[in-house]
Structure 1
Amino acid sequence: METYNNIVLERLPRHLKRYVVAQRYERYTALDQALWRYVMRQNYSFLKDVAYYPYIPGLKKAGLSIAKIPDLQQMNDSLKLIGWGAVTVDGFIPPAAFMEFQAHRVLVIAADIRQLEHIEYTPAPDIIHESSGHAPIIGEPDYASYLQYFGEIGTKALSSGKDFELYEAIRHLSILKENPTTTQAELSAAEEYLQIVQDNMGAPSEMALLSRLHWWTVEYGLIGNLKDPKIYGAGLLSSIGESASCMREDVPKLPYDLKAIDYAYDITKPQPQLFVTPDFEHLKLVLDQFADTMAFSVGGKQSLDKAVDCRAICTAVYSSGLQVSGIFKEANADVNLSYLQTEGGTALAFGGKQLEGHGIDYHSEGFGSPIGQLRGADHNLEDFDEATFLDYGIVLGKECVLRFDSGIIVEGIVQRVLRQFDKIVLISFTSCEVYRNNREEIYFKPEWGTYDMAVGSEIVSVFAGAADKDAFEPIEEQLDQTLTPLPNEKEDVKLIGIHALIRELREQEFDQILWFDSFDRLSDECIDHWLALVELYEIAWANKEHGLAIKAESKLLKIVSLYPTVKKLVGDGIRVAKEESLNNH
């Protein structure tokens, strides 16, 4: 993985590096560059008055410019000065991974750029949204602190199987919308499936609720007062359509508080309402309120039940500090939590580091252990001293019988006692049997091998993912290329060539022959030619060639008459060209 001489990226854990792909800057065409330039010029024209953070200084601080698509090396050269970094990924990545990158102060940027027909808004991640939306405000310390803190909380949030199903449905639909070869039938089928999934989500998980807070702040947040708020959300900062429409009075502006978790969102549509925070510190207060209700804060049976429902890798933390990572399943029907059980590969850790010899290969068929106090004990087993050990017959090489308040009995030969920071975290037995109710409930049999009993009176925390992800997760082969398709249609190649001529025209002293060379290749009956004509209009106007500007405008008006959907885009392009020319003279 390329780290761009940025220590922030060098410190990324291995399991995150597998999502990183090379940017391959040479794959961006002249048309891609024109798309970027148009959106950024429109953004600046509008956002200079309504964005919370000074837009141009923010862009420069993040290593961005209006003129061209950002280069990851330049971005990292700038971002590392404020303790951040940036990497490119191939479109969507799992929400948990996205949150963890954020916790490590790394901006995740989709390497792709939107198509011309989606220039105002794209449901798929792209480099315009990820860089021009998120990066310019990173220089605001309070916001950057909130973004990192949100990542830390989000990394711990428990998801559900339905969340993954929804993520895949949205991802599939977004990819189809950005693929020029997608048929209407394919699109309709994907939209119908997404609707079915959305209508059958059930109660939202922690991650689903947290995603709503992320959406209404990081992506679509407003700041200030309800009467005259400013934009700071990346989704608005990078959308030339919604950044303007969202400020209309008919879009309700609500005070931001924890009630925002009650508002679901649709990534494919404009937002029906927005939330306004008085300052960035308030965002952290609301996030803390929600975090206090999460399984990692609450612990206990209700939190472990969430992990069971999750059906994905989670970690339960005993009061001793021992961390058990695996897929949890229902162990018994007790009202109180008395036994923990996983299935499949499970790992034990302490302080986020896997215990030697206790990885998923060793605990390949799952892990189970009692939770609670020993019968008659006046303090917890994890705090026993040597004298109390002797009182309970816990002696290396000797047979021992441990009776828990829950009725669970562990009897076997003590093989090993593991301590961590004066806490007993694990006792291993041979020839061991674990049972309850006169062996009506059997948890472990002697012929199964060594029984490793976790020690802890309660489960104090439950969170998503493994405690030691690098040790737990098999590291897949690192992706080395983006999936961005190269242009192969004849008309696409032709249009890219025209934009390359226009870019050459822009970067040198004005040449009327070169201007006409580009102009004559453009048709007033082709909708895809509007952007090139706007650029030619802008160049003519900037060079006071008003006669040429009129020629370009004439073709543009013909395109607008045939394709009214681009009327606003064309009008905005002409307006910005005139404004810039007047400001420069």
Structure 2
Amino acid sequence: MSDFNDFNNEQVAKLPRHLRQFIVEQNYEKYTPIDQAVWRYVMRQNYSYLKHVAYYPYIKGLQRAGLSIEYIPDLQTMNDNLGKIGWGAVTVDGFIPPAAFMEYQAYRVLVIAADIRQINHIEYTPAPDIIHESAGHAPIIADTDYNNYLSYFGSIGAKAMFSSKDFELYEAIRKLSILKEASNVDEAEIAKAEKELKFISENMGEPSEMALLGRLHWWTVEYGLIGTLENPKIYGAGLLSSIGESATCMDPKIKKLWYDINTVNYSYDITQEQPQLFVTPTFQNLIDVLEAFANTMAFRRGGAESVLKAIECKNPSTAVYSSGLQVTGIFTDVGISKNDEVTFIKTTGQSALAFDNKELPGHSKHYHKDGFSSPVGKLKNIDKVLEDHNLDDLSNLGVHIGSTSQLTFESGIEVNGTVKEIIRKNDKTILIAFEQCTVKEANGNILFQPEWGNYDMAVGEKIISVFNGAADKDAYEELTHVSDQLTHKVIYDDATKRLHELYQQVRDIRESGEGQENLESIFSELKTNYRHDWLCALQILEILHHTATDPSLESEIRIYLEMKAANEKEFTKLINDGFHVIANPVTQLIIVED
């Protein structure tokens, strides 16, 4: 990707290839005048309400992140500002896989959906959009304790083991969110996608590490409160960007519970308002809870239980031997002794070997294209573990280049062959390669035979870690998980294009202070041809109210909107909230000096 745009931002420039594949152009010019009006309406509502209930840095955080109430943010401006606090931002197409999302956080890069919600989803959208991502996540990034939590969460989350069901769930959620934000979609198609999602989510089985971490992420990064149970403040981006839920969440009927390790037991539904929310006394507590959970994960525990998680995943993951050797592939088998120790591991299909997250030369997925298998454990009747044998020690065992050697493991696995190569790293023996090699189990079952080629035997007493994905992701080329379902691009009919023009005219009049004599004809066209619209009329009312230039037209529009609020329930709150902001203007953000 030679044309990769890093926005002159240090964090974005560091992104590896496998993360760059998700980045799309923002295409700022695609935002319509209605999109800009939706942004302005939501941000004015947020500012009006959140200055009372948001955790303190939110308002000045808007500026620190390069955001304005008036306009959808431009990615370059955001990167210029976020760069000053060691973060960056990129735009992507809707939902991306959770592991990739986590890894972006570890690289201290905000992932922002390039699209913006439609006006008919102005209060809340299940799809990621630029309001949620930038107005929700970005302002709080300025808080050092919080952004440390976010990047640490990312580094833990990127290692979390999936279940194969998680992949199905991700695609189902992505599909539904795309359909809900697309225009002119058959209701039956949405209902079918909802039914599919419901079926998958009700049949997930035991939650995976990623599913459990997803809960911790949801109840903190998306829906978290901070402070006391009696007087909490909002810091979660889902609440900060939902003008509906940021108000209702403070209602006493929404239970407030302390955030601790038990929060992992609370699942969530992205399509519903939350029945309870969790309050943390400090951001440090978030890190403490995350640390306690990380101690239960396969990447820290290793062993048979962790390899079994890799097998269930059915996607590439990595097992790490105690010697430091890393084996990446799709795991399909594991040998387990009577006392639950791993005795061998096996992958199928393209597999690769690495050390310290760098692929070993000559051991790419193309070389090990048919899989990899190797014993794990100590040699029989030899106290010193094999990885701690130096070249002299190995020679004393009869293992040196050109020798025909026999190694018998405590598990009974026997390796017979001519030593071709010994690889050592950091004073450890990590791999012994054999020619003319036979590998068999104690019961005589053949695991490898000479005609299959050379045998690369991994060395290590234990499997000490198992994590999601490849050890050397770029060498392994994990470029397979970009969903082929793209968000729908909207084609506008002539009537909608004309409505865009009216919105633009109103914005131009507001910003220039000129052409107010045209507001009457614009309103006349709105009420004749666009009876469903309420936001453009509200913006005209705002201009008239603040300039006091045409009291009779102001009165006519107010009555028109009051009638609409009374008769069309879906607009009641939106219009009344609009009246409130007109009466209590919030156009000026307080300028904060750094």
Whether TM exceeds 0.5 here: the answer is yes
Match of 1:135 in 2: 138
Match of 2:329 in 1: 326
Residues 207-228 of structure 1, C-alpha deviations (whole Å, 9 max, x = no match): 0000000000000000000000
In the alignment, is residue 409 of structure 1 matched against residue 411 of structure 2?
A: no
Give the deviation of 1:333 after TM superposition.
5.7
Give the deviation of 1:330 after TM superposition.
1.7
2:467 to 458, 463, 467: 463
In the alignment, is residue 473 of structure 1 matched against residue 477 of structure 2?
A: yes
Tell me if structure 2 keeps the 8 A contact 1:526–1:559.
no
Give the deviation of 1:561 after TM superposition.
3.6
Instruction: For 1:557, give the aligned amino acid.
Output: E
1:76 to 75, 79, 83: 79
Give the deviation of 1:549 after TM superposition.
2.4
Match of 2:93 in 1: 90
Tell me if structure 2 keeps the 8 A contact 1:487–1:493.
no
Match of 2:592 in 1: none
Residues 142-190 of structure 1, C-alpha deviations (whole Å, 9 max, x = no match): 0000000000000000011111111111111111111111111111111
User: Whole-Å Cα distance in 2 between the matches of residues 331 and 259 of structure 1?
Assistant: 32
Residues 219-245 of structure 1, C-alpha deviations (whole Å, 9 max, x = no match): 000000000000000000000000000
Among all aligned residue pairs of Structure 1 and Structure 2, give the percentage whose two residues are the same amino acid. Answer: 53
Give the deviation of 1:391 after TM superposition.
2.4
Instruction: For 1:169, give the aligned amino acid.
Output: A
Give the deviation of 1:526 after TM superposition.
4.6
In the alignment, is residue 220 of structure 1 matched against residue 223 of structure 2?
A: yes
**TM-align CA RMSD:** 1.9
In the alignment, is residue 153 of structure 1 matched against residue 161 of structure 2?
A: no
Give the deviation of 1:198 after TM superposition.
1.2
User: Whole-Å Cα distance in 1 between the matches of residues 402 and 520 of structure 2?
Assistant: 93
In the alignment, is residue 522 of structure 1 matched against residue 526 of structure 2?
A: yes
Q: Indicate the SS of the match to 1:120.
A: coil
Query: Structure 2 vs 1, CA of residues 24 and 581 (structure 1 numbering), >3 Å: closer, same or farther?
Result: closer
Match of 1:191 in 2: 194
Q: Indicate the SS of the match to 1:395.
A: coil
Query: Structure 2 vs 1, CA of residues 520 and 266 (structure 1 numbering), >3 Å: closer, same or farther?
Result: same
Match of 2:571 in 1: 566
Tell me if structure 2 keeps the 8 A contact 1:537–1:552.
yes
Query: Structure 2 vs 1, CA of residues 275 and 150 (structure 1 numbering), >3 Å: closer, same or farther?
Result: same
Instruction: For 1:49, give the aligned amino acid.
Output: H
Instruction: For 1:232, give the aligned amino acid.
Output: Y
Point out the more displaced range, 403-412 or 502-511: 502-511
Match of 2:516 in 1: 512
Residues 443-464 of structure 1, C-alpha deviations (whole Å, 9 max, x = no match): 1111000000000000000000
User: Whole-Å Cα distance in 1 between the matches of residues 268 and 586 of structure 2?
Assistant: 40
Instruction: For 2:103, give the aligned amino acid.
Output: E
Instruction: For 1:394, give the aligned amino acid.
Output: V
In the alignment, is residue 41 of structure 1 matched against residue 44 of structure 2?
A: yes
Give the deviation of 1:495 after TM superposition.
1.6
Instruction: For 1:413, give the aligned amino acid.
Output: T
Give the deviation of 1:392 after TM superposition.
1.3
User: Whole-Å Cα distance in 2 between the matches of residues 582 and 446 of structure 1?
Assistant: 77
Tell me if structure 2 keeps the 8 A contact 1:44–1:55.
no
In the alignment, is residue 422 of structure 1 matched against residue 427 of structure 2?
A: yes
Give the deviation of 1:527 after TM superposition.
5.3
TM-score normalised to structure 2 length = 0.95
User: Whole-Å Cα distance in 2 between the matches of residues 240 and 502 of structure 1?
Assistant: 23
User: Whole-Å Cα distance in 2 between the matches of residues 551 and 343 of structure 1?
Assistant: 72
Q: Indicate the SS of the match to 1:20.
A: coil
User: Whole-Å Cα distance in 2 between the matches of residues 281 and 485 of structure 1?
Assistant: 42
Instruction: For 2:516, give the aligned amino acid.
Output: Q
Give the deviation of 1:53 after TM superposition.
2.8
Match of 1:125 in 2: 128
Match of 1:359 in 2: 364
Residues 329-381 of structure 1, C-alpha deviations (whole Å, 9 max, x = no match): 12346443100100000010000100001010000000000000011112111
Give the deviation of 1:581 after TM superposition.
7.9
User: Whole-Å Cα distance in 2 between the matches of residues 293 and 474 of structure 1?
Assistant: 26
1:393 to 376, 398, 411: 398
Tell me if structure 2 keeps the 8 A contact 1:524–1:555.
no
Instruction: For 1:574, give the aligned amino acid.
Output: F
Residues 419-466 of structure 1, C-alpha deviations (whole Å, 9 max, x = no match): 111111100000000001252x21111100000000000000000000
User: Whole-Å Cα distance in 1 between the matches of residues 62 and 202 of structure 2?
Assistant: 40
Give the deviation of 1:57 after TM superposition.
1.1
Structure 1: unaligned runs, 5 residues or longer: none
Map 1:294-305 → 2, pairs under 5 A: 294-305=297-308
Give the deviation of 1:323 after TM superposition.
0.5
Query: Structure 1 residue runs of 4+, over 4 Å off?
Result: 474-479, 524-527, 581-584
Tell me if structure 2 keeps the 8 A contact 1:18–1:476.
no
Give the deviation of 1:520 after TM superposition.
1.6
Give the deviation of 1:498 after TM superposition.
1.1
In the alignment, is residue 578 of structure 1 matched against residue 583 of structure 2?
A: yes
Structure 2: unaligned runs, 5 residues or longer: 590-594
Point out the more displaced range, 5-14 or 145-154: 5-14
Residues 290-323 of structure 1, C-alpha deviations (whole Å, 9 max, x = no match): 0000000100111111111111110000000000
Instruction: For 2:369, give the aligned amino acid.
Output: S
Map 1:481-560 → 2, pairs under 5 A: 485-523=489-527, 526=530, 528-545=532-549, 546-560=551-565
Instruction: For 1:405, give the aligned amino acid.
Output: E
Query: Structure 2 vs 1, CA of residues 541 and 437 (structure 1 numbering), >3 Å: closer, same or farther?
Result: same
Residues 43-84 of structure 1, C-alpha deviations (whole Å, 9 max, x = no match): 000000000033331111001000000000000000000100
Tell me if structure 1 keeps the 8 A contact 2:323–2:428.
yes
User: Whole-Å Cα distance in 2 between the matches of residues 384 and 490 of structure 1?
Assistant: 77
Instruction: For 2:277, give the aligned amino acid.
Output: L
User: Whole-Å Cα distance in 2 between the matches of residues 549 and 274 of structure 1?
Assistant: 42
User: Whole-Å Cα distance in 2 between the matches of residues 123 and 185 of structure 1?
Assistant: 18
Instruction: For 2:327, give the aligned amino acid.
Output: V
Point out the more displaced range, 551-560 or 445-454: 551-560
Query: Structure 2 vs 1, CA of residues 39 and 198 (structure 1 numbering), >3 Å: closer, same or farther?
Result: same
Tell me if structure 1 keeps the 8 A contact 2:47–2:586.
no
Give the deviation of 1:512 after TM superposition.
2.6
Residues 393-432 of structure 1, C-alpha deviations (whole Å, 9 max, x = no match): 1011010000000100001000000011111110000000
Q: Indicate the SS of the match to 2:506.
A: helix
Match of 1:350 in 2: 355
Tell me if structure 1 keeps the 8 A contact 2:438–2:450.
yes
Tell me if structure 2 keeps the 8 A contact 1:112–1:484.
no
Tell me if structure 2 keeps the 8 A contact 1:382–1:456.
yes
Match of 1:178 in 2: 181
User: Whole-Å Cα distance in 2 between the matches of residues 581 and 373 of structure 1?
Assistant: 70
Q: Indicate the SS of the match to 1:463.
A: strand
User: Whole-Å Cα distance in 2 between the matches of residues 338 and 104 of structure 1?
Assistant: 36
Point out the more displaced range, 1-10 or 462-471: 1-10
Give the deviation of 1:136 after TM superposition.
0.3
User: Whole-Å Cα distance in 1 between the matches of residues 13 and 588 of structure 2?
Assistant: 44
